[in-house]
Structure 1
Amino acid sequence: MTGAESGPVEDRRDSWEGPVPVPTGANSEFWAATLEGELVHQHCEECGTAQLYPRAVCTDCGAVDPPFEASSGVGEVYTYTVCHVPGEPGFGDRTPYVVAAVDLEEGPRLLALVDCDPDRVEIGMALEVTFWQVSDEAALPVFVPQ
């Protein structure tokens, strides 16, 4: 990891009622980076595959423990849905909200909340990452329009 920040961290520990990630094994380094405002992904040294979310092996070649590198935190909406019915406890007061598949500049795609007016989101929309700290161990990557 480079140590370069890719987005601000907003402390939401007192108000967050949604699911809270539990860092374990291969994803511990990912969640530690989120607390520092850094979005990281794994980049396999064997085959060059970039992957996110973290796994113990490369999803392409099976190499063990692909190393992490910093992401710019910039991407675009590949596809999205507007949720009118809360999918998880703690999301009832957020409806409607946007969940998008975000293509990062570095290649990986991840599902994430997009914090914007649901009427404004569109495929190809440029996004940048920000973080909502929801526990002492993790901050959720949340995207906002650029």
Structure 2
Amino acid sequence: MSGSEPAPVEDRRDSWEGPVPIPSGANETFWEATLEGELLYQRCEECGTSQLYPRAVCTGCGTTDPPFETSEGVGTVYSYTVCHVPGEPGFSDRTPYAVAAVALEEGPRLLALLDCDPEAVEVGMPLEVTFWQVSEEAAIPVFVPR
């Protein structure tokens, strides 16, 4: 996902058995963009704080409705865990799997599923976003090695 080029969106609606996001309020714009292969984050115009997941207020200064910007969709593994016991319904066929705190180049971090061999994951590993469409309203960001 470089420049204005969207990331791939793979339709997983028929096979996904995990949790499904329900867009509402401050996160509706975020989830709409995922269906188009875009990863959005918020950057406050008042204090410069960047944040993800979407919120109605800036976590830095409390300004309401911080605007969205489009991420390049690249970052690195900040921290991770390998799950050997499924923590959510729909993940039993996936174990073991890796979940990482991904540090985006723009600054914010988000927790995301990694689509790769969990034994290959390491802190600092470069990643890029892809999306799995899991409903008519949302595609979840999933990261793969760059």
Post-superposition offset of 1:5: 3.5
TM-score by structure 2 length?
0.97
Identity over aligned pairs, percent:
79
SS at match of 1:92: coil
Q: Gaps spanning 5+ residues in structure 2: where?
A: none
Provide the alpha-carbon RMSD of the alignment.
1.0
SS at match of 1:26: helix
Whether 1:9 aligns to 2:14 is: no
Whether 1:22 aligns to 2:5 is: no
Q: Within 5 Å, which residues of 2 pair with 1:1-146?
A: 4-146=4-146
Per-residue Cα deviation, 1:33-91 (whole angstroms, up to 9, x for no partner): 00000000001000001000000000010000000000000000000000000010000
TM-score by structure 1 length?
0.97
Post-superposition offset of 1:7: 1.2
Per-residue Cα deviation, 1:8-57 (whole angstroms, up to 9, x for no partner): 00000000000000000000000000000000000100000100000000
SS at match of 1:111: strand
C-alpha separation between the residues in 2 aligned to 1:103 and 1:6?
19
Q: Gaps spanning 5+ residues in structure 1: where?
A: none
